[in-house]
């Protein structure tokens, strides 16, 4: 029997379809793979300063949000002009997580071209426009970081499986954490990922995500996809790690360049600081753990970046509490919130014990922005308190 469609409308915000939050319109800018060019970041920083609350909010999928927007059209125009929303019909479906360090540190292969090919193919596919804005694609370069987050459709690159040294890349296709088969070559891999999304619409019209399916329907989706693939090569991905080391600090890239990882208070990047990051003229990656990576730096530039940007609020210390806590907007920005979550988390960080595990603070049971990995949820309750729960 088909899975019933979700009763509620998918109200995921985008650039053209903003969310009317209590503090004004909210726009989400999808960054496939979390990647953004310096000139694009500069445009977003300017839009945030001139038409929103002066910050770029980092999301749990490596995207950016602008809140408190006073001129929705001006923001959309700026985002489009920067090439960050190349298609109004497909704006909200470009949800692609990519191993943040791929092509620079470790991994089986550089998975960036695969993520770009998936984005191109998605935008070229008219049927993909009807996908839920919540459906999540993943490209894992073999280290397991993205697969552990259980995207709906994930390609996991496999080592030593190419028929020749420079042979085509091979990936397992993993649906919601279950490897169903493998595909060889970028085209076949991209085709397989999009087929999972199409298959979801076939077995459960209106469903948003694979995890919404009951066991029978999920099995049908797995079988439908597997019938078009070669047998899977690797095992199913391991359970998500309880707490991965933050990518925060100074890292040596495989090519000898330097990668700097940083976090910011409350996952909010002030527009002025974003402008300074853009001025470094280096590729930037926003990770699903709300980290900001400045890549391909020389040692001299990296030293200058730390010296100039650390006093402005960019935190390069992996031991900082801000590397392991996060929160939703809470009150007054969200009308559903039972508490001023940001203020309370600021106080907790200033006055409480250092967190020894991942914490996510939320203003109500919806749990917006919760990390994919195991964490402690600190949820505001209607009586004004907070409840801690392991998730
Ligand atoms: S978790 Fe609740 S309070 Fe926080 S942003 Fe979501 S709906 Fe609002």
Domains in the chain, please, with CATH? Answer: 1-7+86-242 (3.30.413.10), 249-320 (3.90.480.10), 324-390 (3.30.413.10)
pTM: 0.94
Determine the pLDDT at residue 278: 98
Residue 228 sits at the vertex; the CA angle it makes with 223 and 234, to the nearest 5 degrees, is 75
Atom of ligand 1 nearest to the CA of 367: 1
Cα atoms in the 13 Å half-sphere on the side-chain side of 227: 7
DSSP H or E run through 389: strand 386-390
Inter-residue contact 72 to 27 (CB < 8 Å): yes
Determine the pLDDT at residue 238: 55
Determine the pLDDT at residue 122: 95
Determine the pLDDT at residue 12: 87
Determine the pLDDT at residue 387: 97
Protein residue with its CA nearest to atom 6 in ligand 1? 368
Determine the pLDDT at residue 242: 44
What does the alpha-carbon distance between residue 55 and residue 65 come to, in Å, rounded to a whole number? 9
Q: How far apart, in Å, do the first and last CA atoms of the chain sit? A: 31
What does the alpha-carbon distance between residue 76 and residue 66 come to, in Å, rounded to a whole number? 11
Beta bridge partners of 157: 171
Centre of ligand 1 to C-alpha 7, Å, is 20
- Residues lining ligand 1, judged by CB closer than 6 Å? 328-330, 334, 336-337, 362-364, 366-368
Query: What is the longest distance spanned by two Cα atoms in the chain?
Result: 63
Residue in this structure with the two tokens 């907007």, named with its chain if needed: 329
Determine the pLDDT at residue 163: 45
Determine the pLDDT at residue 10: 66
Determine the pLDDT at residue 372: 87
Residue 73 sits at the vertex; the CA angle it makes with 69 and 74, to the nearest 5 degrees, is 75
Q: Which two tokens stand for residue 40?
A: 């694009």
Determine the pLDDT at residue 336: 96
Determine the pLDDT at residue 346: 97
Ligand 1 pocket test, pick from 8, 23, 329, 364 with the greatest ligand atom count within 8 Å of Cβ, gives 364
Determine the pLDDT at residue 388: 96
Which is it for strands 24-29 and 64-69: parallel, antiparallel or unpaired? antiparallel
What does the alpha-carbon distance between residue 109 and residue 157 come to, in Å, rounded to a whole number? 7
Backbone dihedral region for residue 263 (phi beyond 0: left; psi -120 to 50: alpha; all else: beta): beta
* Regions of the chain where pLDDT drops below 50: 1-7, 163-164, 242
């Amino acid at each position: 029997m088909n899975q019933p469609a979700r009763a509620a409308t998918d109200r995921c915000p985008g650039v053209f379809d903003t969310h009317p939050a209590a503090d004004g319109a909210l726009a989400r800018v999808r960054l496939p793979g979390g990647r953004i060019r310096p000139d694009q970041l500069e445009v977003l920083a300017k839009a945030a300063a001139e038409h929103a609350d002066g910050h770029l909010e980092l999301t749990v999928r490596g995207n950016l949000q602008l809140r408190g927007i006073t001129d929705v059209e001006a923001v959309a125009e700026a985002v489009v002009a920067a090439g960050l929303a190349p298609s109004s019909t497909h704006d909200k479906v470009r949800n692609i997580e990519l191993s943040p360090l791929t092509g620079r540190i470790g991994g089986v292969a550089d998975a960036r071209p695969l993520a770009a090919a998936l984005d191109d193919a998605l935008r070229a596919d008219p049927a993909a426009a009807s996908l839920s804005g919540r459906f999540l694609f993943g490209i894992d370069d073999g280290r397991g970081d993205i697969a552990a987050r259980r995207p709906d459709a994930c390609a996991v690159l496999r080592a030593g499986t190419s028929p020749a040294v420079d042979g085509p890349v091979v990936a397992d296709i993993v649906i919601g954490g279950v490897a169903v088969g493998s595909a060889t070559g970028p085209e076949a891999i991209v085709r397989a990922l999009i087929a999972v999304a199409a298959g979801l619409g076939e077995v459960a019209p209106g469903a948003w995500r694979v995890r919404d399916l009951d066991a029978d329907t999920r099995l049908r989706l797995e079988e439908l996809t597997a019938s078009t693939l070669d047998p899977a090569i690797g095992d199913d991905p391991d359970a998500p790690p309880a707490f991965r080391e933050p990518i925060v600090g100074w890292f040596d890239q495989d090519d000898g360049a330097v990668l700097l990882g940083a976090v910011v208070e409350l996952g909010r990047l002030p527009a002025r600081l974003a402008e300074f990051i853009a001025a470094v003229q280096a590729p930037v990656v926003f990770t699903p753990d709300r980290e900001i990576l400045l890549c391909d730096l020389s040692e001299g530039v990296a030293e200058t970046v730390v010296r100039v940007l650390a006093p402005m609020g960019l935190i390069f210390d992996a031991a900082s509490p801000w590397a392991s806590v996060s929160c939703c907007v809470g009150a007054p920005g969200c009308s559903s919130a039972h508490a001023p979550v940001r203020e309370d988390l600021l106080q907790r960080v200033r006055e409480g014990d250092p967190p020894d595990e991942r914490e996510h603070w939320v203003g109500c049971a919806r749990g917006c922005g919760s990390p994919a990995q195991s964490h402690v949820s600190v949820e505001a309750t209607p009586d004004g308190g907070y409840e801690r729960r392991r998730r």
